Amino acid sequence: MTMAGAPELDPGVAEGVGRTALMVAAARAVETHRPDSLVRDELAEQFVRAAPASAGWPVRPDQVPGDGADPLWDRLGRYFGLRTRVLDDHLLRSAAAGVRQVVLLGAGLDSRAFRLGWPPGCVVHEIDTAAVLAFKQAVLDRSGAVPAADRRPLAADLRHDWADALTGAGFDPAVPTAWLAEGLLLYLPAAAERRLMATVARLSAAGSTLAYEIKRFTESPEVLAGPVYTTAKQRIAVDLPALFDPDPRPDSAAELTRRRWSVSVRTPYDFARHHGRGPLPEPDDALAANRWIFAHRTPS
């Protein structure tokens, strides 16, 4: 789908954009059009339709097969919609508490800089690969979208050193920051997660916040062979278990606690029950290992 009067997007600009980022964008697009939507992202559909790999994926509920029980776009898709809403709320609470500096680690195709009601003076740093940011910017330019904050994209590899590049883009470690790592740490090697967390801690002034997602334990063969993962692989060629780093995960929540952060570990089901929408536990559940971590740096 091309916007009227807009030039066709060069297909080459989509090279290097991961199917996982497109999958989450498609889930947000479907969620946007649900009658009981938890989040609205009007740009998500444009990202999905602009990439050849995802051009035929569902972006509206009536395009999802089945009767509301599809394991990919209903169960996993609603999980992504719930996650987006919960992390949106985390960032907006931080902003309401006075934080004016936001860093999205592995920003992907999210459009928080455009769709959230940021207070005046907010700066949103988006860190991702050069390929993802180039594709994202091309779609944003074509859409005519205007950010609601001072948006600063930064191409960097989060597996390596990125702190100097961030400070070079105007990041100020002396003021509180709201950090977000949505759907990122699952794919990083354990050593890269440790380095990233140490960097966040080093750059965080008192009053900073952090939210991120992990898998708390290794999933069983029954879960890995279950409908969520197999359907994603069969329909959209996203083999999620193959992308998850297999090494034992560091206990980043415990490390943050040691560094005198206040840390809360929650399950997605806590928020599904709170909102009355989203996935609930089921047998051999692909979401049972997922945890959402919320941390706040208190004064030393």
Q: What integer best gives the mean pLDDT of the chain?
A: 93
Report DSSP state, residue 62. G
Read off the pLDDT band of 246 (50, 70, 90): confident
Break the chain into its structural domains and give their ranges. Answer: 71-297
Nearest CA-CA partner of 243 in 15, 23, 11, 85? 23
Q: What pLDDT, on a 0 to 100 scale, did the predictor assign at position 14?
A: 57
C-alpha–C-alpha distance, residues 109 and 178, integer Å: 19
Give ∠ CA 65-68-72 in degrees, rounded to 5.
Answer: 60
Strand partners, 30: none
Q: What pLDDT, on a 0 to 100 scale, did the predictor assign at position 17?
A: 66
Residues 65-80: tens digit of each pLDDT: 988 899 999 999 999 9
Q: Is the pLDDT of residue 247 over 90?
A: no
Q: What value does the mean pLDDT take over residues 268-293? A: 95
Q: Which of 5-9, 72-76, 224-228 has the lowest mean pLDDT?
A: 5-9
Q: Is the pLDDT of residue 7 over 60?
A: no
Q: What pLDDT, on a 0 to 100 scale, did the predictor assign at position 16?
A: 54
pTM of the model: 0.94
Q: Which residue has the higher pLDDT, 80 or 10?
A: 80
Q: What pLDDT, on a 0 to 100 scale, did the predictor assign at position 6?
A: 39
Read off the pLDDT band of 125 (50, 70, 90): very high
Query: C-alpha distances in angstroms, 65 versus 37, 44, 58, 62?
Result: 18, 20, 9, 8
Q: Looking at this protein, which amino acid is placed at residue 18?
A: G
What is the third-level CATH fold of 71-297? Rossmann fold (3.40.50)
Q: What value does the mean pLDDT take over residues 167-182? A: 97
Q: What value does the mean pLDDT take over residues 37-54? A: 96
Asked if 114 contacts 17 with a C-beta cutoff of 8 angstroms, the reply is no
Residues 203-225: tens digit of each pLDDT: 999 999 999 999 988 899 999 99
Pairing of strands 101-105, 209-215: unpaired
Q: What pLDDT, on a 0 to 100 scale, did the predictor assign at position 10?
A: 54
Q: Is the pLDDT of residue 102 over 50?
A: yes
Q: What pLDDT, on a 0 to 100 scale, did the predictor assign at position 13?
A: 57
Asked if 163 contacts 127 with a C-beta cutoff of 8 angstroms, the reply is no
Token match 């960032």: residue?
91
Query: C-alpha distances in angstroms, 237 versus 55, 62, 95?
Result: 13, 22, 38
Q: Is the pLDDT of residue 58 over 90?
A: yes
Q: Is the pLDDT of residue 116 over 90?
A: yes
Q: What pLDDT, on a 0 to 100 scale, did the predictor assign at position 111?
A: 96
C-alpha–C-alpha distance, residues 19 and 272, integer Å: 26
Q: What pLDDT, on a 0 to 100 scale, did the predictor assign at position 266?
A: 97
Q: Is the pLDDT of residue 3 over 50?
A: no
